[in-house]
Amino acid sequence: MEGVLSKGRCLILALAIVFFSSSWLLDGLETVNLQDCFAIVRGIEGSVTVAVCTVRSLQSLKQAWGSSTVLWSGPDPCADKWEGILCEDNRVVSLYLVNKELKGTIPPAIGDLTALQNLDLSFNGNLQGTLPDELGKLTSLEYLSIQSCNFSGSIPSTLGTLVNLTFLALNNNNLDGTIPSSVGTLSKLKRFDVAYNKLTGPLPVSTNNPVKIGLDTWPAIEHYHWNDNLFTGNIPPELGNARNCVHMILEFNRFTGQIPESFENLSSLKILLVGNNQLTSPIPSTLNNIVTNGAKGLLQLRAANNRLTGTVPVLSALNQLQLMRFENANLTGPLPADILTYSALQGLYLQNNEIDGTLTIPEILGLNLRYVSLQNNNITGLVQPDPYSAESVLVMLQGNPLCTFTGGFVNISPELCNTTKPTMERAWVSPMVSKNTCQNMICGNRFYLNPLQCRCSKPLVVTLEVRSPSFTNINDPPLWDSFKNQTVTSLKTLTQHETPPLQFESEQLWIRDASLMAMC
């Protein structure tokens, strides 16, 4: 009995310390170090222990972010279901506070939420300061997104300890300095996005590091997004080892040298963007070797606004290639004879180069070809079908010698050399219009007919931001169906706290018209 009693007294004492310490911690935030919390409850197991430390950490976040977290109320963040917080076994595993108008900095106490698996603070433009080193304590993190905020300073090298991370997005901030080579330890990483910052220096790779880690030691990586920074040096050929990479986005930097021949090994690559740099080499013809699941898989290749050398390469093996942008790239020589017959090609942009010779417009163009821009080159000859019709394909040759030649050259179609600014702004018809079975229905002012329900509806303007899309054909009905479904999902999420909640179904939403803006 004495032994049992002793254990009972010990247990009661421990619970009392936890109970009173919890109250003390919440009332005296400015004077208590979180380490005291762990010291007080060390050796005690159970949810109460975790709750004390968790509440203390979250209260520090609330204090740092001010009234923005006013919906964090009640003594227990798990039982009281604090907004944006998900718990498992009374431990916070997810902190999702996207676009919540948070203000201030990320306090060091963030590092004490050691069970966190998902942390998303994106689209809080008033979050600022530097990213704390304590983020490196969150070793259970799988998803870290702090995009479109206002953070500055360097990327903490401590992020290299987050070995479970699969998603890391720090884009659209004001981060500077170099990328720490320590992040090369993140062997599970699939997406790395640091676009739209002020990052500098060469990209760290394993061959330049004594411990042989770098941005090329990510075997699972699928998305490299480095665009719109101040990176310098060569594009590392080591990146060609990323066989799972789908997006390689390097444009709008200060890279020099060549497009690596090793990129032919990127067997999953869909998007390759290297435009707006200072590259000075030919476009490697070895890109023809990119193979995805037995098909030639590259969809977009953009290398515009460089000082490249050589000619436009033959890329006919890439039978899924939809977009080629090589404008203002210093390319010379004649075009490949069959370039306008590529089966998937929709847009070919080669204006402001030194392309010469004779342009051959075949009788049978590529099935999907819509736009060919060859203005301001040195093309002197033209072979075209007779008669020539430009109804389906807009070919632009203004500023070439053939358009100013005054003797001996006849039968050139005037629309090819039209000096007026062309437009592709033809009337766009929603793919869903064909579903209109409403007979003779007319809607009043400021209302539009919903052909899916034959009812008059008020218009709703929705903006969807799509990063690095792989599609280029906007007239694909399944594409618009997916946009509609995503809009419905987003609207339901945004209105779930309305009283009463907004009730609507997918059929109530249809896309009447669209405005697309491409950021190239």
Q: Is the pLDDT of residue 420 over 80?
A: no
Kindly report whether the peptide bond that precedes residue 501 is cis, defined as omega within 30 degrees of 0: no
Rounded Cα distance, 263 and 286, in Å: 8
Closest CA to 73 of 53, 58, 57, 89: 58
Give the residue with greater pLDDT, 108 vs 486. Answer: 108
Rounded mean pLDDT, 351-377: 92
In what order do the strands lie in the sheet containing 354-360? 332-333, 354-360, 378-383
Q: Of 31-45, 52-66, 94-108, which one has max mean pLDDT?
A: 94-108
CB burial readout 500-516, b (16+ within 10 A) else e: eeeeeeeeebbeeeeee
Listing DSSP states for 4-53 in one string gives: HHHHHHHHHHHHHHHHHHHHHHHH-GGG--HHHHHHHHTT--SHHHHHHH
Residue 74: per-residue pLDDT = 75
Sequence-distant (6+) residues with CB within 8 A of 33 are none
CB distance 129 to 152 below 8 Å: yes
Sign of CA dihedral 466, 470, 476, 482: negative
- Per-residue pLDDT at 394: 87
Residue 416, pLDDT score: 84
18-32, 64-78, 407-421, 460-474: which range is least confident on average? 18-32
Query: What mean pLDDT do residues 177-206 have?
Result: 96
pLDDT exceeds 60 at position 16: no
Bridge partners, residue 35, by sequence: none
- Write down the pLDDT at residue 313: 92
Give the per-residue pLDDT at 17.
25
Q: What is the predicted pLDDT for the residue at 414?
A: 76
What amino acid is encoded at 355 in this protein? Answer: I
Residue that the structure tokens 């500055």 belong to: 152
What is the predicted pLDDT for the residue at 18?
27
Q: What is the pLDDT of residue 65?
A: 85
498 pLDDT band (50/70/90 cuts)? low
Share of the chain above pLDDT 70, in %: 68
Q: What pLDDT is attached to residue 384? A: 83
Task: Give the span between the Cα atoms of 175 and 178, in whole angstroms.
Answer: 9
As a whole number, mean pLDDT of residues 356-382 equals 91
**Residue range 52-77: mean pLDDT, rounded:** 75
Local confidence band at 340 (pLDDT 50, 70, 90 cut-offs): very high
What is the distance between the alpha carbons of residues 135 and 183, in angstroms, rounded to a whole number?
A: 13
In tens, the pLDDT along 258-286 reads 999 999 999 999 999 999 999 999 999 99
Q: What is the pLDDT of residue 262?
A: 95
The CA distance from 40 to 55, in Å, is 15
Instruction: Say whether pLDDT at 430 is over 60.
Output: no
Asked whether residue 321 carries a pLDDT value surpassing 70, the answer given is: yes
Q: pLDDT tens digits, residue range 220-244?
A: 999 999 999 999 999 999 999 999 9
Mean pLDDT, the chain, integer: 79
* pTM metric for this prediction: 0.75
